[in-house]
Amino acid sequence: MNITDLLRKDFIIEELKSKTKKEVLFELSEAFARGGLNVDCDAMVEVLMEREKLGSTGIGEGIAIPHGKLTGLENLIVSFGRTTEGIDFDSLDGKPVHIFFLLMAPENSAGQHLKALAKISRMLKEEDFRKELMDVKTSDDIYDLIEVKDSAFI
């Protein structure tokens, strides 16, 4: 599975405007709607906030991978956002989050969902990759960087 099969350039936000956890989840959800998908952003945020109650998806090192399953969704989808300022996301290490991958899955896609989460997590463990994600300028550059890293992780 390639993350770039799930992530489109129009699902990438170069600089998030959000200041709170709920706002960033909504902004990342809106990327799907702006990209032409017929999704209910409010329902998506509700699912994501419920998941956050189980434990923060802010995994540390400035990374969060919010995820959930949404009824009516046909395919696994991924959006990406970053913020130079950082957002308090109740991360495990207590530090602000700068890099977000939001993953939404259809209700019945446990295996695929977990494989995508694991792959994103493995990719982001590399400090150089995280730094490059913050340094590149455009959504095209972000996508290209993710595509290169994605192909290196099988």
Residue 33: what residue type?
Answer: A
Cα gap 44→122, rounded to integer Å = 25
**pLDDT (tens place) for every residue of the chain, 154 residues total:** 899 999 999 999 999 999 999 999 999 999 999 999 999 999 999 999 999 999 999 999 999 999 999 988 989 999 999 999 999 999 999 999 999 999 999 988 878 888 999 999 999 999 999 999 999 999 999 999 999 999 887 6
Instruction: Tell me the CATH number at 75.
Output: 3.40.930.10
Tell me which residue has tokens 């939404």: 104
Show the tokens assigned to 42: 């409010």
111 contacts: CB under 8 Å, gap ≥ 6: none
pLDDT at 1: 80
- The pTM score is 0.95
CA 19 to CA 32: how far, in whole Å? 20
Its domain, for residue 126, covers: 3-152
Q: What single DSSP character describes residue 96?
A: P
List active site positions.
Answer: 67
Q: What is the DSSP letter of 4?
A: G
Count how many domains the chain has.
Answer: 1
